[in-house]
A and B are shown apart, each in its own frame.
Chain A
Amino acid sequence: MVARGVIRFGNRPTIRAAAVAAGPTEKKNSPFSHQFDRLYDSDLIGQKTNEQAHRQLIEDACDLALNKAGKTISDADYLVCGDLVNEMTPSNFAAASTGLPYVGLFSACATSTSALAYAALLTEVGAASLVLAGAASHHSAIERQFRYPVEYGFQKPQNAQWTVTAAGFAAVTPHEPGYPSICQATVGRVVDYGLTDPLNMGAAMAPAAFDTFRRHLEAAGTEPEDYDVIITGDLGAIGTQLFRKMASEAGYAVEGERWRDAGKEFYGGDPAFFAGASGAGCSAAVYFSDVYSRMMEGEYRRALLMATGALLSPLSFQQGESIPCTCHAVELVMGEGEGR
């Protein structure tokens, strides 16, 4: 054991392929849209309900990831994913239609990395030759569950975030050279700093991000400079500032382009989306398109993915509870020489 909650993968499971499917708002407004593998022109993706569209999004992203890996569904051993809708039914239905052994993971918006870590673990122990891991969210389906009906008019503050319609999936296989591989994962603790505003999730999640960040670096014995990119999930404009402030006060050198946040960048800083994007699909979409392709191109040799999640429910915040948050980290390396 390296440290509590830290897993080191000696066999270096590989992300053989990754794919992203995203909705119309993302097609129009996201600077990453040209990197997404499939874009839809309708929120409903030809389905009757938003929840069915959500499920379709997951199925399509899985298919795309398998295609890119040159595999079919029969080659896959497990499906590991999650979403934010009631009891994760979109994921459950998608799992039913794939027919794969399935583990549903609820880590809210941190599901992209927790699924990745879980898939790496299954591969590491030799239980799988291919695991589909990912996360998804659908704006309309989630907005109405966590907040108000989509068409309800209320003034969102500048610190609010916009749930994305996107699904990102990765095909995790045993080690293959030439692809990004997973060398370490840190399972997040649940951190609750007592924040209660469900429209300021970034601020609630930043302490969890910092907690995991410090634990991961301490276990790995690294400094921020050792990474080409340290990318948080969906802290948004405010959460990112808070996270960096916490890191710099703890003595980490916070500077340069290596510090990124998927949520803040997702809509290119458009004020119509307030502080940025959120949702389980947000970090998955950026990690499995932009970050993955930069690693494949060799721009990033070593990346730290830290997806953050706010583990609240509409019930808990109406009962006046604070927002418990978590953050799971996965470290990717490209090539053999890097790391330990």
Chain B
Amino acid sequence: MDRQAYSQLEQQITPKTPIALNLVKAFVTGGIICTIGQGIMYFYMYFFDFTERTAGNPTVATMIFIAMLLTGFGKYKRIAQFGGAGSAVPVTGFGNAMISAAIEHRTEGYVLGVGGNMFKLAGSVIVFGVFSAFVVALIKTILVKLGVVGW
């Protein structure tokens, strides 16, 4: 059997990704995580002096704290296996990427292991976030200076 015939056969036999089902699962999982976030946001607004605008920060921190517990007790990977992007896209997924790497590399010591590898997975998100923010802000500022758009 040559390569081409084999690759056709392989595509036939390898189970298809259940895309529709995965989308529904991602929607529900992500939706639930964001709803919990909304609840935490209201909690901070109701009991502390946070407005809708400022409650986002403590909410995100709390969500990551919850992600830490779930990751540490081995539950987050189960949620991820079910939810796919539903657990990866919310900030808890970002937390999970950093926390799991930190836990994993503890055996190499705190400086080289935890410190050095914490950003192994999540680092690229920070790099591209900061760089794209810089480019976008630069372009917009130049356009404003040229009078093409307003702030």
Q: Which residues of chain B come closer than 8 Å to A250, judged between CB atoms?
A: 1
The closest CB in chain A to the CB of B105 belongs to A149
Q: Supply 17 A–B pairs (Cβ within 8 Å), ascending by A.
A: A51-B107, A148-B100, A149-B104, A150-B100, A151-B76, A151-B99, A152-B96, A152-B97, A152-B100, A152-B101, A153-B79, A154-B80, A155-B84, A158-B15, A195-B7, A200-B14, A210-B1
Any chain B CB within 8 A of the CB of A156?
yes
Q: Which of A164-172, A239-247, A285-293 contacts B (4 or more CB under 8 A)?
A: A239-247
Bound CA–CA A330/B10 (angstroms): 27
B-side contacts of A210, CB under 8 Å: 1
Partner of B77, one of A48, A151, A157: A151
Closest 5 CB pairs of A and B: A153-B80, A149-B104, A151-B100, A155-B84, A149-B100
Looking at chain B's contact residues, the main secondary structure is helix
Count of residues in A whose CB is under 8 Å from the partner chain: 31
Instruction: Return the chain B residue nearest A202 by Cβ.
Output: B14
The reply to whether B22 and A50 contact each other, CB–CB distance below 8 Å, is: no
Number of A-B contacts (CB under 8 A): 91
Bound Cα distance A195, B3 (Å): 10
Known: A159-B14, A159-B15, A203-B14. A152 touches B6 (CB 8 A): no
Separation of A250 and B124 alpha carbons in the complex (Å): 47
Question: Which of B13, B15, B96 sits near A151, CB closer than 8 Å?
Answer: B96
- Closest-by-CB residue of A relative to B16 is A158
- In the bound complex, how far is the Cα of B72 from the Cα of A210, in angstroms? 43
Chain A residues near B13 (CB-CB < 8 A): 203, 238, 241-242, 245
- Say yes or no: A149 contacts B7, CB within 8 Å: no
- Chain B nearest CB from A170 CB (Å) reads 31
Partner of B6, one of A149, A157, A246: A246
Q: Which residues does chain B contribute within 8 Å of A51, judged by CB atoms?
A: 107
B residues adjacent to A (C-beta < 8 A): 1, 3, 6-7, 9-10, 13-15, 17, 22, 71-72, 74, 76-81, 83-85, 87-88, 93, 96-97, 99-101, 103-105, 107, 120-121
Known pairs A154-B88, A155-B22, A246-B1; A149 contacts B14 (CB<8 A) = no
Chain A residues with CB below 8 A from B103, complex form: 149, 151
Which residues on B sit within 8 Å (CB–CB) of A48?
Answer: 107
Cβ of A187 to closest chain B Cβ, rounded Å: 22
**Given contact pairs A152-B97, A153-B87, A154-B88, A242 touches B104 in the complex (Cβ within 8 A):** no
Most buried by B among A156, A193, A246: A193
Whole-angstrom distance between the Cβ of B150 and the nearest chain A Cβ: 42
CB–CB A155/B80 < 8 A = yes
In the bound complex, CA of A246 to CA of B3 (Å): 12
Q: Does A194 contact B (CB under 8 A)?
A: yes
| Nearest A residue (CB) for B96 | A153
